[in-house]
Amino acid sequence: MSIKYFRDPIHGYIEVSPHILKIIDSPYFQRLRRIKQLSFTHLVYHGAEHTRFGHSLGVYHLARKLSNSILKDEQEEIKEEFCLAALLHDIGHHPFSHSFESVLKKNLEDSGIDFDHANYTKELIKNTAIGDYIHGCGLSKDHIVQMIEGSFTEIPHLSYLNSLISSELDLDRLDYLLRDSYYCGIPYGNIDLDRLLISLKPVEGEIIVSERGKPSTEMYVLARFYMYTQVYLHHTTRAFDLMLQRVLSRDVLKELDYPKPEKDDIERLVDFDDLWLYGRIKEISKSTDSKGQIAEKIIKRDPIRCVIEKIAFVDAHSRATDPEFSIVKSISSSIDVIAKEAGVGEEEIFVDEPWKDLPLENRYRPYTLSEAQDEIKPIKVESKGKIMDIAEDTSSIAYYVAKYMAQIIRIYTPLECRDKLATAIRDRYEELHHLIWTKDS
């Protein structure tokens, strides 16, 4: 079998060897063609129809490019395992990607099951035909899983491979920033990819960015910040996320019989994709109850409307925020009172605090201030002869970006309730008048 080439809009031709193609052609990987990378974002940016399939190929391509440079003196098996970790890092992703994952975690939080897509990825690699094939090629599926999980330490001087698969600066983010920006038709995610790649170098088991690569790293940090504020946390996209959470309640999720990340159940995941979930939403939309009405709005692209929005840039050092944010937060905790004053049902009000159920990646946080320091792998750069976290380098733009954490609170309601809810909030909180969205917003 000859070499296969995939024509990719981001990276050009992606070269794939016959044994890699065997994995790509498996039903588990082909399933990724039926899972959109950005779930509901195509309802805002209509070009965002791209899938986890193309993204996974892109990350694989970047891994191959790096392996030809920083791994050129290592064993071929390690190179292949690293590239496979890049290819398979998202193979366990849920339908509607992070949107459905958040629903599972929020509405089934007491189930004892960890619905993180990484757990599904691990089980697919270890307990399906993919793992059997990898083993048959003389490669270690355990190594691949460890690189994805960030626990590969068997070869100490190569432990930096963990960071290249998952860290604050990894191949996953390098691909999706460019890919998402391209398909959304916006410039915010543009980064100097080639300069970044040639600036990466391993030092004592860690990946360091050379001093000449610092400007491109700053560009990357800014790209992440703007992609989160302008795309990933767009108010309409988040509206559909909230609607999905309301439709797929705990009882509904149990009826769906979604696969568990377990050895004896993982193979069923192949049949669960965006088409399956849209089908379930359509079924629910036939009901006349409140869930059915919301499901119908999803199908018809009739989102709930934002009534009030407050974006606050919280000081990462003092944790201080502006008084308006605290007031809006108090509204979110008094929905029962506001609903009564507005004459609308509580079930018709939706509160969004995205940092509570999404990864806090809308900014680069300094390692020393992270809430989960053991899990954060900072971006380390050479600066003035020293190696440091770029967020602690006072000569870097990233230092100033990292000082503040963007947090958002939005309150939504269906269009027919919007004026009543807006009036009730305005009457009670006159000082927030400028934050209340008008009918034409």
Inside any domain, residue 328? yes
Residues 308, 214 share a domain: no
Distance, in Å, from the CA atom of 412 to the CA atom of 399, rounded to the nearest integer, reads 34
Residues 309, 224 share a domain: no
Residues 32-60 pLDDT 10s: 999 999 999 999 999 999 999 999 999 99
For 233-245, what is the mean pLDDT?
95
Inside any domain, residue 252? no
Inside any domain, residue 248? no
- Please say if the pLDDT value at position 228 is more than 70: yes
Residues 299-309 pLDDT 10s: 999 999 999 99
pLDDT-based confidence at residue 378 (cuts at 50, 70, 90) = confident
- Domain C-terminal end among 233, 256, 277: 233
Percent of the chain surpassing pLDDT 90: 73
Number of domains in the chain: 2
Inside any domain, residue 154? yes
Looking at residue 360, its pLDDT comes to: 43
Residues 226, 325 share a domain: no
Residues 315, 215 share a domain: no
Inside any domain, residue 352? yes
Inside any domain, residue 414? yes
Inside any domain, residue 240? no
CA-to-CA dists, residue 32 to 17, 26, 35, 46, 136, angstroms: 20, 11, 5, 20, 24
3-state SS class at 411: strand
- Domain C-terminal end among 216, 233, 250: 233
As to burial, measured by CB atoms within 10 angstroms (0-12 exposed, 13-18 middle, 19+ buried), residue 3 is exposed
Percent of the chain surpassing pLDDT 70: 92
For 96-108, what is the mean pLDDT?
93
Looking at residue 5, its pLDDT comes to: 96
- Please say if the pLDDT value at position 103 is more than 50: yes
Distance, in Å, from the CA atom of 226 to the CA atom of 362, rounded to the nearest integer, reads 8
pTM beyond cutoff 0.75? yes
Residues 308, 228 share a domain: no
Inside any domain, residue 77? yes
Residues 66, 183 share a domain: yes
Residues 334, 219 share a domain: no
Residues 316, 221 share a domain: no
- Domain C-terminal end among 214, 233, 252: 233
Q: What is the mean pLDDT of the chain?
A: 90
> What six digits make up the tokens of 165?
């698969």
Distance, in Å, from the CA atom of 242 to the CA atom of 94, rounded to the nearest integer, reads 17
Residues 149, 15 share a domain: yes
Residues 327, 432 share a domain: yes
pLDDT-based confidence at residue 319 (cuts at 50, 70, 90) = low
What is the domain range of residue 434?
304-363+402-441
Looking at residue 177, its pLDDT comes to: 97
pLDDT-based confidence at residue 372 (cuts at 50, 70, 90) = very low
Contacts of 440 (CB under 8 A, 6+ apart): none
Looking at residue 391, its pLDDT comes to: 84
Residues 198, 310 share a domain: no
